[in-house]
Amino acid sequence: MSDPVIAQRSPYVLELDSGTYWWCRCGRSAKQPFCDGSHQGTDFTPLKLELSETKKVALCGCKHSTRAPLCDGTHSKLG
């Protein structure tokens, strides 16, 4: 699998309503941190995020988190 594009070197901190969201894994989406279909033709597929209640989340912006779609601080270690 190829490496994702780093969309930003910090998390997207958002308050999201309950529901289903599709987190962009490829880093190419113009609607970061969510998928807009820009992964077409790549090895990537979006990651489903389901929330049962309104919640503040920190979604990974660098696309390298080991806890995707949540930020784990990996962005601070990227070269």
Q: What residues make up the domain containing 54?
A: 12-77
pLDDT of residue 2: 87
Does the global pTM surpass 0.75? yes
The tally of domains found in the chain comes to 1
Q: Which parts of the chain register pLDDT below 50? A: none
Nearest-angstrom CA–CA distance, 52 and 6: 28
Q: Is residue 1 part of a domain?
A: no
Q: Is residue 63 part of a domain?
A: yes
Closest CA to 9 of 61, 47, 65: 61
Q: Is residue 6 part of a domain?
A: no
Q: Is residue 65 part of a domain?
A: yes
Per-residue pLDDT tens over the stretch 12-23: 999 999 999 999
Q: Is 8 exposed, middle or buried (0-12, 13-18, 19+ CB in 10 A)?
A: middle
Residues near 14 by beta carbon (within 8 Å), at least 6 away in sequence? 33, 56, 57, 59
